[in-house]
Amino acid sequence: MCEANAYLLRDGEEELIMKNVDILRPETNGIYLQDIFGGQRTIKARIREMNLVDHRILLEEE
């Protein structure tokens, strides 16, 4: 499995915002995330780090 969990860094704390992320796409209004089950969300953030070996995406609140 190549999916990753997405976390949002807010006030120095990491919050899990989506599991099993399959699609991550930067858009003009934020970052679009979609999981393997079709769940979707767009969040106002920027990519801080992606560690695909550890299946981890860290986003930073804008």
- Model pLDDT for residues 18-54, shown as the tens digit of each residue: 999 999 999 999 999 999 999 999 999 999 999 999 9
Q: Would you state the pLDDT for residue 23?
A: 96
Q: Which residues contact 30 (CB under 8 A, 6 or more apart)?
A: 42, 43, 44, 45, 62
Cα–Cα distance for residue pair 22/17, rounded to 1 Å = 14
Question: What is the model's pLDDT at position 38?
Answer: 96
